[in-house]
Amino acid sequence: NILIIGATGQIGSELTMELRRRYGNDHVVAGYRNSKPSDALADSGPLERVDITNAQRLNEIVKRHGIDTIYNLAALLSAIAEDRPQAAWHIGINGLYNVLETARENGCAVFFPSSIGSFGPSTPRVNTPQETIQRPTTMYGVTKVTGELLSDYYHRRFGLDTRGVRYPGIISSVTLPGGGTTDYAVEIFYAAIKHKKFVCPLPRGAFLDMMYMPDALNCAIDLMEADPSKLIHRNAFNVSAMSFDPEILAAEIKRHMPDFEMTYNIDPKKQAIAASWPNNMDDSAARSEWGWKPEYNFKEMVSDMMEKVSAKLAIAYK
Ligand code: VAH
């Protein structure tokens, strides 16, 4: 059975539904902390209140449900983590430590999502290698590098089956992001459909890796299902599907909606975080070791987002 921690988060809420579709509702336990789960989540399978910083409770839940795989999607995203660095460390690392210890005692495999945020200003920005310098300047990045090292240690030292990917910004029409630096790439679609205009917090030239949510879900599940004997790396694989800056995204939206206008009102905090991250990662290791291949490219993502967000808001744009 599978436990998802952070099942009401941006990735967690859609990953839970996808795992239930693939493995059966009763085999996927949705672990959430504060936010009330959606009806879809609550009505489709088992729920548990999980405080990742409570090791004893985590152990009890893993034993009660016969968990053999833990997807740990509990984290504060980059921008909000800069406002609350102590909480970001507590959830991100003390929480991960509890997950790894619980997994070690119960023989569970662990999925840990790292991020482009695990890189810093001294990391090569273009075609960022799988193995390269990682000196992030944000607390979010510190928790992600630490998490990668801790997860690899548990694999090497205790034989734990830990695996992870360095996610780029994730774009979805289903869930809204919360407190990330890449959130603009989701917010722009809602603003375009509702108001035909968007005020962008990141500047022209802020290139960031991005990925459409359906690819992000396949990515996590395909990695966890991969043949372990083929894995040279573990925590964590560079994975990406596209890289663009606000200018390129706005121009592509304009192709669908000619009267769409974007202006800028730079958020210095988000600008500084984005500037410390690479432009695009080399994800050849993931492609060769476990067959990673995104299905959505930039134009397909934009077109699908325009359609899905327009339908969701019941506002036509064509
Ligand atoms: C954030 N969306 O912006 C997350 C992610 C790569 C970006 O880590 O913090």
Give percent above pLDDT 90 in the chain.
96
DSSP, res 37? P
117 Cα–ligand 1 center, Å: 7
Q: Find the helix or strand (DSSP H, E) in which 82 lies.
A: helix 78-83
Tell me what pLDDT residue 177 has: 85
Tell me what pLDDT residue 15 has: 97
Q: Please state, in angstroms and as integers, the Cα–Cα distance from residue 270 to each residue in 78, 103, 240, following that order.
A: 9, 35, 21
Q: Are strands 242-244 and 208-212 parallel, antiparallel or unpaired?
A: antiparallel
**Buried b vs exposed e over 156-165: b needs ≥16 C-beta within 10 Å?**
eeeebbbbbb
Q: Is 169 in the pocket of ligand 1 (CB under 6 A)?
A: yes
Give the ipTM. 0.94
| CA separation for the pair 59, 102 (Å, rounded) | 6
Q: Is 182 in the pocket of ligand 1 (CB under 6 A)?
A: yes
| CA separation for the pair 134, 212 (Å, rounded) | 25
Residue 46 structure tokens = 């088992």
Q: Which of 83, 182, 212 to mutate to test the pocket of ligand 1 (most atoms within 8 A of CB)?
A: 182
Nearest CA to ligand 1 atom 5: 169
Tell me what pLDDT residue 224 has: 98
Alpha-helical segments (H) within 159-212: 184-195
Intervals of the chain under pLDDT 70: none
Catalytic residues: 140
Cβ contacts of 79 within 8 Å, gap of 6 or more: 179, 180, 181, 183, 269, 270, 273
Tell me what pLDDT residue 180 has: 93
Classified as helix, coil or strand, 277 is coil
Tell me what pLDDT residue 214 has: 98
Q: What pTM value is reported for the model?
A: 0.96
Tell me what pLDDT residue 144 has: 98
Tell me what pLDDT residue 146 has: 98
| CA separation for the pair 170, 158 (Å, rounded) | 32
Alpha-helical segments (H) within 196-279: 213-225, 246-256, 268-275
Q: Is 188 in the pocket of ligand 1 (CB under 6 A)?
A: no
Q: What is the pLDDT of residues 44-72, one digit of tens each?
A: 999 999 999 999 999 999 999 999 999 99
Neighbour tally for 272: CB within 10 Å: 14
- DSSP secondary structure letters along 95-114: HHHHHHHHHHHHT-EEEEEE
| CA separation for the pair 161, 76 (Å, rounded) | 24
Nearest CA to ligand 1 atom 4: 180
Tell me what pLDDT residue 35 has: 86
Tell me what pLDDT residue 191 has: 97
